[in-house]
Structure 1
Amino acid sequence: MNDDSQILIARLLTHQTLRRDDRLVKRALSDEQFRVEVDARLMACGLKLLDNVYADHVTLCLHRAIEPKVFGARDTWQNNNFGLARDGVALLVVLWALIILPKRERQETHQHADDDQNDMFGQEKPVPRAEDTSIGIPYKALLADFGDKLGKKTRMDMNLGILSKLGFIERRGDILVEGPLLDLLMDTDLLKERIINGALADVFKRVPDQVVHIPRAVLAAANEAAMEAEASASTEHPNQD
């Protein structure tokens, strides 16, 4: 007989992601006993439920302890488990930095994307949903700022297509927006410090909404940050059957 934990896990394996407002997802996030049952079933397969309060979706990923046995090959760790070339990984990190970091800033200050000013009572409100705070970036601006460093238009278009298919981004006309996995599978706690205080420190001294247009002088640093973060971007991997 099917039960709710079995159905939730089967749906996540089938659809890769589910929204946080889904009935069974909400139950898993609020019902401790139900969450324990779900976690136990997933643990038996080396998986865990992955969510964060800043994302509108949840997904599944491997437990850290099982990753080397899955992704290690001949004692050599795969450079990434999505089949992305180096320029694809660099593009992923750049998109994460341009879309997710400003969104997190707005969520933490309880601002919506269309707010003109801070609400003095904003801290009493729940964290805004990603869809209410996430702002896309123009494709033409991305190509102008990063095309030369990330393989020019042909390679960038190819990698954007791969990232869209994987669920990291969505394309809405000329605008690139956050996909369901962009804020789930990137290790924000690790990458934020490395990028904001490291290679892209000069960029992120500006307010978040002004980050879209990045000077060419820091493009090499962006690539360096992407290479450094490559392993982190690949460690948590949803089922893609």
Structure 2
Amino acid sequence: MTDDAQILIAQLMTHQTLSRENKLVKRALTDEAFRLDIDTRLAACGLKFLDNVYADNVTLALAREIEPKIFGSREVWQNNNLGLARDGVALLVVLWAMIILPKRERQEAHQHALEDQEDMFGKDKPLPRAEDASMGISYRALLADFGDKLGRKTRMDINLGQLNKLGFIERRGDMILEGPLLDLMMDTDTLRDRIINGALADIFHRPAPREAAIIPFPQADAQGEAQADAQADALSEPLPEQ
């Protein structure tokens, strides 16, 4: 005998992703008892229901505690990213940074604008759909900016094909667009500051905080200053002749 929780889990395992507009997905996002039933069943299999308010889709993922038992030790795990080579993983991070982060900014700016408007009924104001806020990037621009660093055209084309097959991106002519998994499988809270203020700071034109380059030194007391002066005097004396 099947039930709605069983059907939803089976659909996710079969199709990998489902739209948030799906009837059972909507129920999972709003019905606490239904969601608890789904989470309990998935946890028994080492899985979790993965959703993101900024994304238009939901999916399943391994529970964090089970990942090392599936992917192996830390060293092996780092090289077991869905079969992606290092340059493929690097390309994935670049695409996430160039597509998802600007989309987030547009979604949040739109949300703040709505909140600033007067609303006598106090209705909830949902975020704009990802497909409306996500704009994608040009393949030619990506190749010009990152081709030399990511294996040039041949390697980039191979990795883009693999990312497209995995559901991270979609290709439409010259444009590379957000796929159903790009905003779901990346840990935004962990990566966002590291990307903007670190690896891609020059791309986003956001230099690292000046405070990070300042190393405070403790104030020396009077005894410490005297010892420092004595050491300086000793160093300044000429060496004896041999």
Range into which the TM-score falls when normalised by the shorter chain: 0.7 to 0.9
Higher relative contact order (CA 8 A, sep 6+): 1
1:122, distance to aligned residue in structure 2 (A) = 9.6
Q: Displacement of 1:125 after TM fit?
A: 3.0
Letter in 1 for 2:33: Q
Residues 7-55 of structure 1 deviation map (CA, whole Å, 9 limit, x = unaligned): 0000000000000010000000000000000001000100000001000
Q: How far off its partner does 1:59 sit?
A: 0.3
The structure whose Rg is larger is 2
Look up the SS of the partner of 1:60 in the other structure: strand
**Offset at 1:199?**
2.2
| Aligned-partner Cα distance in 2 for 1:127–1:177 | 19
Any gaps of 5 or more consecutive residues in structure 1?
Answer: 112-117, 207-241
1:95 and 2:95 are equivalent in the alignment: yes
The amino acid across from 2:201 in the alignment is A
1:159-238 alignment to 2 at 5 Å? 159-205=159-205
Correspondence for 1:139: 139
Q: Do residues 125 (structure 1) and 110 (structure 2) align? A: no
Measure how far apart 1:121 and its partner are.
2.6
CA separation of 1:204/1:83 partners in 2, compared to 1, >3 Å: closer, same or farther?
same
Would the alpha carbon gap of residues 166 and 192 (structure 1) be closer, same or farther in structure 2, given more than 3 Å must change?
same
Is residue 71–residue 77 contact of structure 1 (8 Å, CA) maintained in 2? yes
Using the size of structure 1 for normalisation, the TM-score is 0.78
* TM-score normalized by the length of structure 2: 0.78
Identity %: 74
Structure 1 segment 78-89 matched on structure 2, within 5 A: 78-89=78-89
Which residue is equivalent to 1:239? none
Question: Counterparts of 1:49 and 1:154 in 2: how far apart (Å)?
Answer: 36
Distance 2:99 2:117 in 1: 26
The equivalent residue for 1:28 is 28
- Residues 202, 149 of structure 1: CA spacing in aligned structure 2 closer, same or farther, 3 A cutoff? closer
Ranges in structure 2 where 5+ consecutive residues have no aligned partner: 207-242
Structure 1 residue 79 displacement after superposition = 2.1
| Contact 1:55–1:129, Cα closer than 8 Å, also in 2 | yes
Would you say the 8 A contact 1:47–1:60 is kept in 2? Answer: yes
Q: Is the 8 A contact 2:81 2:89 kept in 1?
A: no
Aligned pair 1:109/2:109, yes or no? Answer: yes
Q: Deviations over 1:98-157 (max 9, x none)?
A: 00000000111117xxxxxx6653997321110110001111111111111111111111
Given the alignment of the two structures, is residue 153 of structure 1 paired with residue 178 of structure 2, yes or no? no
Aligned residues: 200
CA distance in 2, matches of 1:11, 1:47: 14
How far apart, CA to CA, are the structure 2 residues paired with 1:152 and 1:76? 26
Q: Distance in 1 between matches of 2:109 and 2:129?
A: 12
Offset, 1:205: 3.8
Aligned AA (1:202): D
AA matched with 1:55: A
